Amino acid sequence: MKALLATTFGFFAITAATAPAMISFGYLSPEQAQEHGLQVRYRAAGPKDVSVTVSFPTDGRWKHFAEPVSHHYIELSLDREKDGNRTEQIFRTTLRENRRTEGRVSVYFVIERDKLHQVRIWLTQRIVDAADVVRMRDYIELDDIAREDRVAPPPPTPTGE
């Protein structure tokens, strides 16, 4: 009986330790993005594609991205709308972080224009079990895509001069 209880307890302890944690997430509005220094740069990449770079600072809201330990990741998901407000995930992948600029992290991807409104970028910090979700449709107008770089939200304007 003791062996059975010990085995059962051990099974539940291992299962609980390896089970994925619940992550809370919220959509990041362009106003919040501007306040926290997140930028979305985009430009035409041929007749049908768009190249997009998302960059953000590694302090403040995303301070855990400054740590070398892998408690964070950035994912791209491609979703399709289902019934009204619900969405169905078609595809999800982890994006590679670029740290060329000191104190900032950026990711880059190219996608067809007609799929851009379905893209979400997930900035996940496992250490706090939270993710910020950047919906591309909130940041990029398809009619605004041109050969030169565009920035969304626009950089803050200097005041006082």
Q: Where are the domains of the chain?
A: 23-152
Residue 1: the pLDDT is 56
Q: What is the pLDDT of residues 24-52, one digit of tens each?
A: 888 999 999 999 999 999 999 988 999 99
**pTM over cut 0.85:** no
Residue 12: the pLDDT is 46
CA distance 137 to 134: 9
Q: How confident is the model at residue 20 (pLDDT cuts 50, 70, 90)?
A: low
Residues 6+ apart with CB under 8 A from 152: 30, 39, 40, 42, 139, 140
- Coil, strand or helix at 9: helix
What percentage of the chain has pLDDT greater than the value 70?
80
Spatial contact of 111 and 79, defined as CB atoms under 8 Å apart: no
Mean pLDDT value across residues 115-133:
87
Report whether pLDDT(87) > 90. Answer: no
Tokens matching residue 91? 């595809």
Residue 138: the pLDDT is 92
Class of CATH domain 23-152: mainly beta
